[in-house]
Copies of this chain bind each other. A is one copy, B any other.
Amino acid sequence: MNDTFLRACRGEKTEYTPVWFMRQAGRYLPEYQRVRAKFTFLELCKSPELCTEVTLQPIDILGFDAAILFSDILIPMEAMNLSLEFHEGKGPIFPHPVRDQKAVDALVIPDPEERTPFVLETIRLLRKELKVPLIGFAGAPFTLATYLVEGGSSRVFLETKKMMFQAPELYDALLQKITRCTSLYLQAQARAGAQALQIFDSWAGVLAPCDFARFALPYVQTIISDLRRATDVPIIYFANNGASLLELSKTAGADVLGLDWRINIRDAIARAGNHAVQGNLDPIALFLPKAQLEERIKRLLEDARGARGHIFNLGHGIVPQTPPLQARIAVEAVHRFSGK
């Protein structure tokens, strides 16, 4: 068992820097494409056998030091009794956005074992196969709420912010329900065998710091304090585009702070306090010629030296156009330059 990743999360000494990539099980891999071609995205997400297969692919092919459960942050939202659709190239759609008290009241807090058994079964299957730690995950409540309130992706998040600003009690009622659902969902993942948990706050960076502090962070803190009572797995909090939120997000209670690529990792470490950090290569830097890609990785590793722990990752998900060979060059460079 390679537990380098888990030790880095806990700030313990490691022989080399562990590496995994967000969306490492995904469209840039022809092996994934072959599986995906035969099923819809939701069919794939709901089949423990297929999820297990695609989760394992990048570990076998590219040698990552951690696996992340193949799923989608919106899966537990569907389980709250919402209809969810994925359309090719258009992102997720909730045809009935949640914008009033009636819609909030209609949301159920699902029992994860009952409503998302396929996720937990995937975790159990993966733990039998994996020689590296398995990361479970969920979306952060604010990020999840944006999809529910907007009805899908957004650009300026007008409806979500209008609800915050004009109907803060309704917003809080919605977020409380999402928080409870997410808390139970992550606890169930830990019980099923997830060895670390990442909370993705993909849209945190659209909030002014004062709004992040009031309308996003407290719900994350609740989830993490719930988790601390239920499990001792390391927790990673990734507030995307959160360079100016670091002083706030470091109070979330996580062990590890995920960093996007818009901040120099040395500056982030200086501000992150007593946290391990995860990140933060620009995903598009994987398109650099080999020598320059290696040079950039070397510099990033040097810049990260002062961290309590460093897990190398991209600053956001790997893009589908990435040649797998480039991902391999990067993984090998991280290992080589960090002493493996």
Binding site for B on A (CB under 8 A): 156-158, 161-162, 165-166, 205-211, 241, 243-244, 261-264, 267, 282-285, 287-289, 292, 296, 315, 319, 321
Q: Residue A158 contacts which of B262, B263, B296, B319 (CB distance < 8 angstroms)?
A: B319
On whether A209 and B282 interact (CB within 8 A), knowing A158-B319, A166-B287, A292-B165, the answer reads no
Q: Are A264 and B244 in contact (CB under 8 A)?
A: yes
CB distance from A156 to the nearest CB of B (A): 6
**Can you report 28 A-B residue pairs in the complex whose CB atoms are below 8 A from each other?**
A156-B284, A157-B284, A158-B284, A158-B321, A161-B284, A161-B285, A161-B287, A162-B284, A165-B285, A165-B287, A165-B288, A166-B287, A166-B288, A205-B241, A205-B262, A206-B262, A208-B261, A208-B282, A209-B262, A209-B263, A210-B264, A210-B296, A211-B282, A241-B262, A244-B244, A244-B262, A244-B263, A244-B264
Q: Are B165 and A264 in contact (CB under 8 A)?
A: no
User: Closest chain B residue to A261 by CB distance?
Assistant: B208
Task: State A165–B322 Cα separation when bound (angstroms).
Answer: 14
Task: State A195–B241 Cα separation when bound (angstroms).
Answer: 35
CB distance from A172 to the nearest CB of B (A): 15
User: Closest chain B residue to A262 by CB distance?
Assistant: B244
Task: State A83–B161 Cα separation when bound (angstroms).
Answer: 37
Instruction: Collect the chain B residues with CB atoms within 8 Å of residue A158's CB.
Output: 284, 287, 319, 321
* 8 closest A-B pairs by CB: A161-B284, A243-B244, A244-B263, A165-B288, A243-B243, A208-B282, A208-B261, A209-B264
Task: State A165–B261 Cα separation when bound (angstroms).
Answer: 16
On whether A162 and B205 interact (CB within 8 A), knowing A243-B244, A244-B267, A262-B241, the answer reads no
Instruction: Collect the chain B residues with CB atoms within 8 Å of residue A264's CB.
Output: 208-210, 244
